[in-house]
Structure 1
Amino acid sequence: METSYKGNNRMLTGIVFGVLTYWLFSQSLINVMPEVQLDMGISMGLLNTAISLSGLFSGMFIVAAGGISDRIGRKRIANIGLLLNIIGSLCLVFAQEAVLLIIGRVVQGFSAACILPATIALIKAYFAGPNRQRALSYWSFGSWGGIGVCSFAAGLIATYLGWRWIFIFSIIFTLVSMLLIKNVPESKAEQSNSSKFDFTGFVIFLLVMVALNVVITHGDGFGWTSPISLTLMAVTIIGGWIFIKVVKGKSNGFIDLSLFENKYFTGATVSNFLISAVAGALIVANTYVQMARGYSSFQSGLLSVGYLVATLVTIRIGEKVLQRSGPRKPMVLACLLVIVGIMLMTLTILPNSIYSIIVFIGFTMYGIGLGLYATPSTDTAVDNVPEAKAGEAAGIYKMSSTLGNSFGLAISVTVYSVIEQSVNMDLAASMGLLTNVIFALLALLAIVAAIPKKVVKKSIKERKAS
């Protein structure tokens, strides 16, 4: 869709506010669970299930929403997502029992699935070159930075106003976002007869995603070798094989597998999955210092303040390094910093005072790494795909974040729990954290293997295609 419109700060601010509706507000409910449980009087197990539904539904539908946005319009899908967030937030504001809470979380999951890939695709459509990299840095403030900010914002709002006010603020941010992007022209791919939606591929993909997400998030509770877990694993593997057979070679396949022929896109997506998995280090470290060393939740939260600040401060530094030397250097450096930071946290033999300092430094290095990684990785994923596939590619890229995060948390918690029960908490924490070092090492290998050392200029033909 041809247009002379150029992205501006008004549009970018609207997009960042839209991204924050998920990362800052929807996800923040995780941090105020005791207040919600006390207010609503529901079991912690049911509350946990309700809260996890947002991430589950986001992960399942984010690729579908991204692909649909290419066909019917990125702005339209972004606005649908924003409207869904208002509906989901209202459900939570007025929830007096579990039913409305669950409905609200499911609707918020659909909301995130629409907003995240559509806004990345809008940035690709209306920003170019260094301006797009700058725009993606600010998008990352809302996404990567929002993860760290949410715990602080949620605690502050819940303490002084009550947890429901989190979602009142979410509605306000959503309305501001809709107002700011109101005049942005629609952006969508050229339509053709081959662009009919692939419902067969979609249904198979959905079944695979449900099985994969359930086994990742609940495998520990079911037991990893239980009949339920083994069945879900089989559905994931066999269903994934059938899905590839069904969509391969289709001109309108639900996922265009040819996207993965581009090494840049593949390297960014695979490494994003693995770097997102390192989030398991956060829950292991926080659980360990509270259970084994007697820290309060507030004290353990202070240990990760450096992580939050470092991530926000270094996002634009990663952008500048990208512009000077290409994506490989900042992404490799990011992985090395994450590895060193997590390795420092494994030194559980140290006494409390020294260990606290070491963990703070480790978290800070981890945050610097994520900040350096965010913009180069996102830009690499969207820059190297055709314009017509921008939403779909963004959906795949963001799905890798969601699945990686869930996978990392599940594996890290399982390693910690098994060793803690059979040996002791110190060793359990060290091994749980080393698991995350392995994830970061694999991310480093993916980057080195897939992303060339030199920046390859696009040909004129490639530029026209994108």
Structure 2
Amino acid sequence: MVERMTGQQRLVLAVAILGSFVSFLDGTVVNVALPAIARELGGGLSTQQWTVDAYLVTLGALILVAGAASDAYGRVLVLRIGLIGFGITSLAVAAAPTIEILIAARALQGASGAFLVPSSLALITSTMREPVRSRAIGLWTASTTGAMVVGPLVGGLIVDYSSWRLVFVINVLPIGLALWMLARLHLTDQRRPDARIDWIGAALCVLGLGLTVFALIELPAGGPPGPLWTMLVVGILSLGGFVWRQRTASTPLLPLTLFRSSTFASGNLATFFIYAALSLNGFVLAVYLQQGAGLSATLAGLASLPTTIMMILLSSRAGVLAGRFGPRLFMTVGPIVMAIGSLLLLTVAESFDYWWQVLPAMTVFGLGLAITVSPLTAAILGAVDADRAGIASAVNNAVSRIAGLLAIAAIATITGGALDLAGFHRAALVTAALLAVGGIVSALGIRNTRDE
């Protein structure tokens, strides 16, 4: 007999999905709005990169702080703070009169978003046990990852039939609903009395990511090489200092002991390659289909619909099967299938035809994504104790966002400085290579429970 969720567990799942949904949706819905933002506020490829990466810099850097805060002060409190902050900053982005103010508001929005994902996922892992937990994670993953792939469609419709500014206003409704549901939860916040926040480590992480990404974006754009190379070196050294700090701090943001588990370490390494590929593919596809193939924002968004459908149909089922048979097979096969889908994008030509050049690629890509994401999340969280769920989910989400951050920052280098057809093909090849490496890492490092 299949164990069913209680009413409170269903409410926890709904809150977790809504809380994460807005963060994931905002991370991708903006891609299809980039050409419209550039037309109204100005800027070229580098400002388009910054519109995405300003959000990802603060999100990736502070998500570890949010994970520690979730353990120290309680998941419900941290989630509530994140929801309120995200709603306010979303409205600020929508009202931005200049590209500089928009980029600054996006950075603040990313800081608020950092508090959403780890606390919402930790609510699931701390209130549910197997097999209900695997099923809930499958549903959470399907919904939140579905937000990543449906974002371009939603954004395209809004951009074409209204204004790109409403792309950010739509966050308010799910945030309000999540706050209302959160008030109905009969849940005592779990806190670890020994949890502390390593502010020095947080500063090194923010400095390292910020300087590194700034240099990666501005160097190909023709910025002054001397200062930019200095920034890159200082950024890399700061990231090294962050890792050293985590070895010596009494309460590290990134507990390196977590990586003693082969599954946790390999799962996060696979996450890095897979989510770098996802971010690269999402950005390049949304922008090229409009600026290169001449599609409207809506049609560019519709290009990802097959991926969305595959996620909705298969992701939850993949999570259940991974709970039964172990995640290694799924995490190996899924990225390889996604890589094949990416290679199919090499058929895109000057004489553009969506039905033969893009639809097959997106369908195969979606199949691989559905096979991958739920087992990946379940494997990583299942590799740690339940009381470390907050920091474990924070680490995994930080890895995924930092991977996307660096991939977007490197787009000019990958494409040769222009998103023309040749640049699009180069991006497809790099995406496929990243996904293949993710599958290989999973095959070599992931351990099924029965193997340990």
- What band does the TM-score fall into relative to the shorter chain? 0.7 to 0.9
Task: Give the structure 1 partner of residue 433 of structure 2.
Answer: 438
Matched position secondary structure for 2:72: helix
Shift of 1:448: 1.5
Matched position secondary structure for 1:254: coil
The 5 Å alignment of 1:188-199 reads: 188-192=190-194, 195-199=195-199
List alignment gaps of at least 5 residues for structure 2.
1-5
Task: Give the structure 2 partner of residue 463 of structure 1.
Answer: none
Structure 2 vs 1, CA of residues 294 and 79 (structure 1 numbering), >3 Å: closer, same or farther? closer
Matched position secondary structure for 1:114: coil
Contact 2:153–2:298, Cα closer than 8 Å, also in 1: no
Query: Is 1:179 aligned to residue 180 of structure 2?
Result: yes
Structure 2 vs 1, CA of residues 36 and 211 (structure 1 numbering), >3 Å: closer, same or farther? closer
Amino acid at match of 2:394: G
Matched position secondary structure for 1:129: coil
List alignment gaps of at least 5 residues for structure 1.
459-466
Task: Give the structure 2 partner of residue 58 of structure 1.
Answer: 59
Q: Which has the larger radius of gyration?
A: 1
Structure 2 vs 1, CA of residues 299 and 153 (structure 1 numbering), >3 Å: closer, same or farther? closer
Task: Give the structure 1 partner of residue 252 of structure 2.
Answer: 253
Q: Percent identity?
A: 21
Contact 2:156–2:301, Cα closer than 8 Å, also in 1: no
Task: Give the structure 1 partner of residue 134 of structure 2.
Answer: 133
Task: Give the structure 2 partner of residue 313 of structure 1.
Answer: 313
TM-score, normalised by the number of residues in structure 2: 0.87
Query: Is 1:80 aligned to residue 81 of structure 2?
Result: yes
Query: Number of residue pairs matched?
Result: 443
Contact 2:61–2:206, Cα closer than 8 Å, also in 1: yes
Shift of 1:295: 4.9
Amino acid at match of 2:122: A
Shift of 1:271: 0.7
Shift of 1:63: 0.9
> What is the rounded CA distance, in whole Å, between the counterparts of 1:50 and 1:352 in structure 2?
28
Task: Give the structure 1 partner of residue 271 of structure 2.
Answer: 272
Contact 1:277–1:407, Cα closer than 8 Å, also in 2: yes
Amino acid at match of 1:398: N
Task: Give the structure 1 partner of residue 395 of structure 2.
Answer: 396
Structure 2 vs 1, CA of residues 99 and 297 (structure 1 numbering), >3 Å: closer, same or farther? closer
> What is the rounded CA distance, in whole Å, between the counterparts of 1:285 and 1:163 in structure 2?
18
Structure 2 vs 1, CA of residues 186 and 211 (structure 1 numbering), >3 Å: closer, same or farther? farther
Contact 2:332–2:443, Cα closer than 8 Å, also in 1: yes
Contact 1:285–1:433, Cα closer than 8 Å, also in 2: no
> What is the rounded CA distance, in whole Å, between the counterparts of 1:8 and 1:426 in structure 2?
48
Shift of 1:114: 0.2
Shift of 1:123: 1.0
Shift of 1:83: 0.8
Amino acid at match of 2:444: A
Query: Is 1:346 aligned to residue 363 of structure 2?
Result: no
The 5 Å alignment of 1:365-380 reads: 365-380=364-379
> What is the rounded CA distance, in whole Å, between the counterparts of 1:168 and 1:429 in structure 2?
31
Task: Give the structure 1 partner of residue 11 of structure 2.
Answer: 10
Structure 2 vs 1, CA of residues 55 and 439 (structure 1 numbering), >3 Å: closer, same or farther? same
Task: Give the structure 1 partner of residue 408 of structure 2.
Answer: 409
Task: Give the structure 2 partner of residue 23 of structure 1.
Answer: 24
The 5 Å alignment of 1:67-466 reads: 67-97=68-98, 101-182=102-183, 183-192=185-194, 195-222=195-222, 226-279=225-278, 280-285=280-285, 295=295, 297-347=297-347, 352-353=352-353, 356-417=355-416, 427-452=422-447, 454-456=448-450
Deviations 1:143-168 (A, max 9, x none): 21111111222233344454444444
